[in-house]
Amino acid sequence: MTHTAYSITPVKPAAHLFRVTCRVDSPDPGGQQFRLPNWIPGSYMIRDFSRHIVTIDARDERGDVALHKIDKSRWRAEPAQGELVVEYEVYAWDLSVRASHLDTTHGYFNGTSVFLLPGGRESSPCELTIVTPTDPACEDWRVATSMRAIAVDANGFGDYRADNYEDLVDHPVEMGTFERHVFTACGVEHQLVLSGRYSTDAARICADLGKICEHHIRFFGEPAPFDRYVFLVTVVGNGYGGLEHRFSTSLLVSRDSLPVKGESGIGDEYLEFLGLCSHEYFHAWNVKRIRPLRLARATLDREAHTSLLWAFEGITSYYDDLALVRCGLITPKRYLKLLSKIITRVAQAPGRKVQTIADSSFDAWTKFYKQDENAPNSIVSYYAKGTLVALALDLRMRESTGGEKCLDDLMRILWHRHGVGCGIDEPDIEATACEIAGTDLESFFELAVRGVDELPLASLLPQVGVGLKWRRSAAEVHGDSSDNAIGTTPLSQGMRLKFDAGLAQITHVTNASAAQRAGLSAGDTLLAIDSLRASEKSLPGILRRHCVGDTVAVSAFRRDELMAFEMVLSAAQNDTAELLIDDENHSLLAYWLSDEIA
Ligand code: ZN
């Protein structure tokens, strides 16, 4: 059987270079092709990882073999004799969960950034040797990854094995002087690997993660579909991101999101961290194993379009926080506050009126992942609105079955039917939901997934004893957004502002807002309102002294041209949601929020 053997060496950490070899035992006699993926599963954007290949050569047992570039990410070697070896250097300086990064403090890579795929070898087993670096800066380095180790030294350098190329690139690798903590959930060993500069209570994180992991495993049913799982966490001053894999997740988080030693209670930032971990772990089922066919068939060279990201990201986003209340980490009240924020976020973005979440899913590559200044007007988030659609579907299923069935049942049936091997086609989720609910949900999905009208949350929530109230908000992005902070003239007036070196930059202007009617635009630098300098500190005070309907003079720079505008101040919208428990004794409230698996 053919196989592909790779090696990777953090060869010049100060220059951010990995050296990689790819050995093909019996290359295509007509000339072996190689290609590097242009995107990484889970992150729907063309990233052209091949641009970071700095040098590349090929050789066989006779010597050098010519390599011809076919396109941006493909090569063809001249016919070779015996084993063909391609050797190349990859520049790694992207500190995100999607690519690779190497310096004298650590190395990190995703296989999609560094491992060439020989043509026709998609299904061949892969061997990987992670070579111990010789640079003195890397002296104490160890390796952390969920990839199956075959023969490694005490630090984890050595030989690993993957079933095929897809498996090879699904195990990100961290190397450095990280801390590793081990905990068990439902009998499965989990690792928490923390790298970067931080000080935290790792034992507490493990205890909290353990509860979340047990929740998710029991939610879908024991045994867990993996025999090991690794949380690879990179801690930085300011960062946020996660990417799901079948046996691990890569997370990039802010130092302040980790719990302080000796402190109890869950602050908002730590809550966000736990929510992110919960999200990526839920993906180990929903999207990594219950897979949309269109993504499962993707060849990673060009975009793969599916209308189902709302389900894979939205349902996952719904359960990430719901699991926290179900496993007792937060109270129902705190959970409802998190949910209220999502309802508010969706309500405040006019893009929900022009784009459906099915379309947002399909066009993720060019819209959601390439957001510009017009994004709030033109795009709906399949994460945020997807969460609300999942909630609405959950409630709708409870309603039509008298509380007997819910979204949990849908997820478990999808898991049993599609968890191993058989991917999910575009109509499958809706059809299965109708089957479980015992009713035709076509009109629900038309509205929620393929429509832009408001979701019927206000009428659905009371059946679990929860009421939805709307209140007026200032709809601003910085500072206080409480009810009466600035009277009835919201600070934003439809402008989102970024304060940079004392200057107020308009980053977004929402459609049909006072700012847009006045002629202001994203990119303008706001100089003065009402003849007073516009600053982060002054703006609320200036606006508080005006009433709805007042006209104020605004001056701003557009590029380097000074412009004058007249803005008629508008009232704050009723777009801030508040969820309150109306009926504590409602029979379905505990069923919804408790961890009793029906
Ligand atoms: Zn996700």
Q: Tell me which residue has tokens 């086609």.
A: 425
Distance from the CA of 322 to the center of ligand 1, in angstroms?
15
Q: How far is the CA of 529 from the centre of ligand 1 (A)?
A: 41
Instruction: Check whether 481 has a pLDDT greater than 70.
Output: no
Does residue 485 carry a pLDDT above 70? Answer: no
d(CA 454, CA 457): 8
Global pTM exceeds 0.75 = yes
Share of the chain above pLDDT 70, in %: 96
> What is the number of other CB atoms lying within 10 angstroms of the CB of residue 264?
8
Show Cβ contacts of residue 4 under 8 Å, excluding neighbours closer than 6 positions: 22, 23, 24, 118, 121, 124, 125, 126, 127, 165
pLDDT at 561: 98
Ligand 1 centroid to Cα of residue 118, in Å, is 30
* Count of Cβ atoms closer than 10 Å to residue 303 Cβ: 16
pLDDT on residue 480: 40
Centre of ligand 1 from the C-alpha of residue 594, in Å = 23
For 333, half-sphere exposure in the C-beta direction (CA atoms, 13 angstrom radius) is 1
Q: Give me ligand 1 centre to Cα 450, in Å.
A: 21
Helix or strand (DSSP H, E) at 581: strand 576-581
| 146 C-beta neighbours (distance < 10 Å), count | 23
Average pLDDT over residues 579-591: 92
Looking at residue 62, what is its pLDDT? Answer: 96
DSSP letter for 296, please.
H
Contact 14, 137 (CB under 8 A): yes
What is the mean pLDDT of the segment spanning 517-531?
96
CA 531–ligand 1 middle distance (angstroms): 46
Q: Which two tokens stand for residue 339?
A: 């949910």
Looking at every residue in the chain, the average pLDDT score rounds to 94
Q: In the predicted model, what is the mean pLDDT of residues 66-92?
A: 97
Contact 485, 475 (CB under 8 A): no
Q: Is the pLDDT higher at 76 or at 543? A: 76
Strands (E), 414-494: 466-471
- What is the C-alpha separation between 213 and 29, in angstroms, rounded? 49
**Which of 7-11, 239-243, 495-499, 563-567 has the least mean pLDDT?**
495-499
Structure tokens at 99: 């690519």
What is the whole-number distance in angstroms between the Cα of residue 210 and the centre of ligand 1? 20
CA of 58 to the centre of ligand 1 (A): 38
pLDDT over 90 (residue 595): no
- Per-residue pLDDT tens over the stretch 243-287: 999 999 999 999 999 999 999 999 999 999 999 999 999 999 999
CA-angle at 411, arms to 283 and 380, nearest 5°: 65
Handedness of CA 156, 158, 159, 165 (dihedral sign): positive
Rounded to whole angstroms, what are the CA distances from 128 to 35, 155, 168, 244? 17, 16, 8, 21
Q: Compute the residue count for the chain.
A: 598
Task: Give residue-wise pLDDT tens across range 106-119.
Answer: 999 999 999 999 99
pLDDT of residue 476: 41
Question: Predicted confidence band at 44 (pLDDT cuts at 50, 70, 90)?
Answer: very high
* 477 CB-near residues (< 8 Å, 6+ apart): 492, 496, 497
Confidence of residue 483 (pLDDT cuts 50, 70, 90): very low
Nearest Cα to Cα of residue 130 among 50, 35, 21:
21
pLDDT in tens, 398-440: 999 999 999 999 999 999 999 987 899 999 999 999 999 999 9
Least confident range of 47-51, 247-251, 503-507? 503-507
- How far away, in angstroms, is 242 Cα from ligand 1 center? 8
Strands 240-244 and 248-254, bridge-based pairing: antiparallel
